[in-house]
Amino acid sequence: MKEFKIAQPKSLDQVTSLLSQKNTDYALMAGGTDLLDEIKNKIIAPEVVIDLKSVPDLSTIKMDKTHVSIDAMTCVADLAENPIIRENFPVLVEAALSLASPQLRNVGTVGGNLCQRPRCWYYRDPDTICRKKGGSRCFALRGRNRYHAIFGGGMCYIVHPSDLAPALISLDAEITINGLEGKKNILRLEDFFTLPQNNVRKENVLEARQVLSEIRIPLPKNGSKSTYYKFKERGTWDFAVVSAAISGVISGGVFRDIKIVCGGLAPIPWRLKKAEDFIKGKNLTEEVIKQGAKEALTDARPLEENTYKMGLVEAVLYTAISSMI
């Protein structure tokens, strides 16, 4: 592992002004559970690591009349235990508790979880220079692709690893991004993530001089329900093979409004809009839910080893939605 220096800024403005200095290669570190692996695997070799833990007051959860706001440095365990989150957003608690191990949840942060890099074995292999690392090929296309994308691939077939992202998108979360000189940019979390065809080296629109500072979720409407179901191979910690975050308003056994956002399927958290449109307004029978999943899967393009994910999507949606009625 290449040696690096640590910078310990005392405010977000100091963070962005450090990032704006030319000729130095910086990396942001929150909990470091992903970043340090990236450095050890020689995927990145920053000269200076900016330790966001040195910035005070970046890990609070607050509620006002319309929203709940979560600071980016809130650790995943605190998110899952917070009474405001537990009362209002079951999908977020379930996603947080499904993620990694208790030790990692105590260290890993919400911001770091949204900005973490992919787990594709070609990308993580120090000796493989795939397209995401500046090479000319995606090795998953013709190689071992059991865990790879069935939607949104093409240039690169990673799946987005975050469990919190599908949950937060299903809840219509917005994020705040801080740039130079106190400039703040607010955008929908759904618009934060970007497909490989836009920039194969990145998974989101964050620029080199920016830092994610806050996540805001609108308070739930009357009749709202939400859940997260994650299919993983190992009973202990594991990333999602397929997961689904479902949020919506139900009355009389019918979804008046529904958002379905999946993990494990695509390079970004993937919304199943065709399933949402099919299910909305109908009595929730097994047939309706399964047909909704089938509608969404008409756009899927599985690879040689991951056709099994098609059946899993149906099973995961059925399990998640039937638990809500």
Ligand X SMILES: Cc1cc2nc3c(=O)[nH]c(=O)nc-3n(C[C@H](O)[C@H](O)[C@H](O)COP(=O)(O)OP(=O)(O)OC[C@H]3O[C@@H](n4cnc5c(N)ncnc54)[C@H](O)[C@@H]3O)c2cc1C
Site for ligand X in 70-89 (CB under 6 A): 72, 76
Site for ligand X in 243-282 (CB under 6 A): none
Measuring CA to CA, which residue among 62, 60, 26, 39 is closest to residue 211? 26
28 counts as binding ligand X under rule CB under 6 A: yes
For ligand X, give the closer residue by CB, 115 or 258.
Answer: 115
For ligand X, give the closer residue by CB, 271 or 297.
Answer: 271
111 counts as binding ligand X under rule CB under 6 A: yes
Among 4, 121, 237, 318, binds ligand X (CB under 6 A): 237
Instruction: For residue 234, give every residue at least 6 positions away whose Cβ sits within 8 Å of its Cβ, in sequence order, or none.
Output: none
x-or-dash string of contact with ligand X, 160-189, rule CB under 6 A: -xxx--------------------------
32-40, 122-130, 140-148, 181-189 -> range binding ligand X (CB under 6 A): 32-40
Among 68, 93, 171, 211, binds ligand X (CB under 6 A): 211
Measuring CA to CA, which residue among 139, 113, 136 is closest to residue 125? 139
62-70, 155-163, 185-193, 251-259 -> range binding ligand X (CB under 6 A): 155-163
Task: Give rounded-to-5 percent helix, strand, coil for the chain.
Answer: 30, 20, 45
SS3 249: strand
Residue whose CB is nearest to ligand X in the complex, by number: 112
6-14, 61-69, 99-107, 292-300 -> range binding ligand X (CB under 6 A): 99-107
Number of residues that this document lists for the chain? 325
Distance, CA of 23 to CA of 44 (rounded, Å): 16
Distance, CA of 114 to CA of 124 (rounded, Å): 18
Q: Name the token pair of 298.
A: 């008409």
SS3 68: strand
107-115, 166-174, 219-227, 307-315 -> range binding ligand X (CB under 6 A): 107-115
32 counts as binding ligand X under rule CB under 6 A: yes
- The amino acid occupying position 253 is G
102-110, 132-140, 191-199, 304-312 -> range binding ligand X (CB under 6 A): 102-110
33 counts as binding ligand X under rule CB under 6 A: yes
290, 318 Cβ separation under 8 angstroms: yes
CB of 191 to ligand X, least distance (A): 16
- Paired with 75 in beta bridges are 109
227 counts as binding ligand X under rule CB under 6 A: no
- The amino acid occupying position 63 is M
